[in-house]
Amino acid sequence: MATTTAAVTLTSDLLSGSLSVTGTSTLMKAGTTADGLDQMRMGINEVPTGTSFDLLDATTAGIDKANKVYIANLSTDTSYYVIIIIDDKTVGRLYGGDWMFIPWNMDDATHDLEVTSYVGTNKIQWVKFHEGETLGTSAD
Amino acid sequence: MAITAAITLTSGANDLVTDALALSTSASLTQAGNTTAIANTSGLARKTTSAAAAGNIQAVTLFRGEDATADGANKVYIKNMSTIAAEYYTVHIDGEELGRLYAGDWAFFPWRAHSGTGSTFTVTIAGSWVAGDTWEFDGVTATATNTTESDFAAIIDATNYPNWTTDHAAGETTVTFTNRRAGGLTQSVPVTADGTKSSSSGTAAITLAAIGTKAESDITVRPSVHTTMTMEYMLFHE
């Protein structure tokens, strides 16, 4: 079984008492603890401003699965940001230095994960852990 | 004040890929477009969900659009505490599915927090009111202390309503109500029906000033089973 571990730590002195939240999960296929996610895509892209781009295309093989997506904005200027959109619904703004980790259910073919860059060209790193995707047929 | 969010993604050599995978990132959570630390949090919360029957499973609202600054650098953390593999929470933003959090899974993501607007209306105190007359709205009763209309308007304004905020200018006879939640009324009839007065000759006419618009970023989660499940969640916001 492929074993991939995702761990998060949230710490803060914002409150009167210290905050320390940790979460660790082994990335499993949907509905099982015996079979881990065994496929992945990974990349780094420089995203220019002015256009909304499909970072990851939804595929029918990804419907109702336990796919996970990690995105980090590698921009060092904290005023730079990308807006994350799933199927025309804005999730939020990922500023320079920020990261996110979400489950991604491609519940229909238009459930693409999109990014739009603002202020300047943002450099983002991403990883998609999944349990299957529909590969496009070669056109030539 | 500082908030740090760190993630590590690891997989051993010849496991997911032939070489070991080790990604780690640490971010200081700051306000939109600057390096000032985010200063607000909901605190870590835990919620248990259940339904009487599978057919009655309802989504639970974790955060409403008006809970944070619109288009801010807000961040949301959600974890499914279940240990039963098949149990999952489906996470939605304004009804759009983000994905499924299976047992033990967690998510951390930026949140737009589009707030929408609350509906508003005005009530105008006129006619003959006397001390002891009442006007009831939203389950709360305001009682006049004299015959001066503007004084009663001030009393109505000073009363706390669970679902509405109020605004009133000294000496005026009108009070403006604004719904604490985005969206709401689509016509004036429900409001008119909700205001109840005891005076036989005083009036408290209600007019609808503006219909609210719904928030477009409420975060809801829907459990996959009607039996008990538990999650933890937290919001950092501007």
Inside any domain, residue B127: yes
**B93/A89 CB distance under 8 A:** yes
Higher pLDDT, residue A6 or B194? A6
Minimum Cα–Cα distance from A32: chain B residue: B85
B229 in the same domain as B177:
no
Among B233, B84, B232, CA closest to A28: B84
Quote ipTM for the complex.
0.95
Inside any domain, residue B79: yes
Q: Are B77 and A100 in contact (CB under 8 A)?
A: no
Alpha-carbon distance of B1 to B115, in angstroms, equals 26
Question: What does the block give as tokens for B135?
Answer: 């006007």
Closest Cα in chain A, distance from residue B189 (Å): 33
Inside any domain, residue B8: no
B227 in the same domain as B111:
yes
Q: Which of A4, A83, A107 sits opposite B9 (nearest CB)?
A: A4
Alpha-carbon distance of B13 to B19, in angstroms, equals 4
What sign does the dihedral B203-B204-B209-B210 (CA atoms) show? negative
Substitution target in A41, A79, A102 with the highest count of B β-carbons within 10 Å is A102
B220 in the same domain as B111:
yes
Closest Cα in chain B, distance from residue A83 (Å): 9
Q: Which pLDDT band, with edges at 50, 70 and 90, does B8 fall under?
A: very high
Q: Which domains does chain A have, with CATH numbers?
A: 39-130 (2.60.120.10)
**A66/B105 CB distance under 8 A:** yes
Q: What local confidence, expressed as pLDDT, does residue B188 receive?
A: 44
The per-residue pLDDT for range A40-85, each reduced to its tens digit, is 999 999 999 999 999 999 998 899 999 999 999 999 999 999 999 9
The per-residue pLDDT for range A17-29, each reduced to its tens digit, is 888 999 999 999 9
B233 in the same domain as B205:
no
- A26 and B CB contact within 8 Å: yes
Among A100, A43, A104, A101, CA closest to A73: A100
Inside any domain, residue B130: yes
Q: Which pLDDT band, with edges at 50, 70 and 90, does B189 fall under?
A: very low
Residues from chain B that touch A103, judged by Cβ atoms under 8 A, are 91, 98-102, 105, 107
Number of independent structural domains in chain B? 2
- Give the type of residue at A14: L
- Give the type of residue at A96: G
Domain that includes residue B231, residue range: 42-115+216-237
Residue B187 has pLDDT above 60, yes or no: no
Closest Cα in chain B, distance from residue A128 (Å): 12
Inside any domain, residue B22: no
Q: Which CATH number is B91's domain given?
A: 2.60.120.10
Q: Which pLDDT band, with edges at 50, 70 and 90, does B194 fall under?
A: low
Q: Are B214 and B61 in contact (CB under 8 A)?
A: no
B136 in the same domain as B84:
no
Inside any domain, residue B9: no
Q: What local confidence, expressed as pLDDT, does residue A78 receive?
A: 92
Inside any domain, residue B32: no
Alpha-carbon distance of A9 to B231, in angstroms, equals 17
Residues from chain A that touch B35, judged by Cβ atoms under 8 A, are 78
Inside any domain, residue B153: yes
Q: What local confidence, expressed as pLDDT, does residue A125 receive?
A: 97
Among A44, A119, A11, CA closest to B32: A119
Minimum Cα–Cα distance from B42: chain A residue: A15
Q: Which pLDDT band, with edges at 50, 70 and 90, does B89 fall under?
A: very high
Residue B106 has pLDDT above 80, yes or no: yes
**A103/B93 CB distance under 8 A:** no
The per-residue pLDDT for range B165-182, each reduced to its tens digit, is 999 999 999 999 998 888
Query: Could you count the other beta carbons within 10 Å of the beta carbon of residue B178?
Result: 17
Substitution target in B31, B46, B100 with the highest count of A β-carbons within 10 Å is B100
Q: What local confidence, expressed as pLDDT, does residue A6 receive?
A: 95
- A8 and B CB contact within 8 Å: yes
**A107/B11 CB distance under 8 A:** no
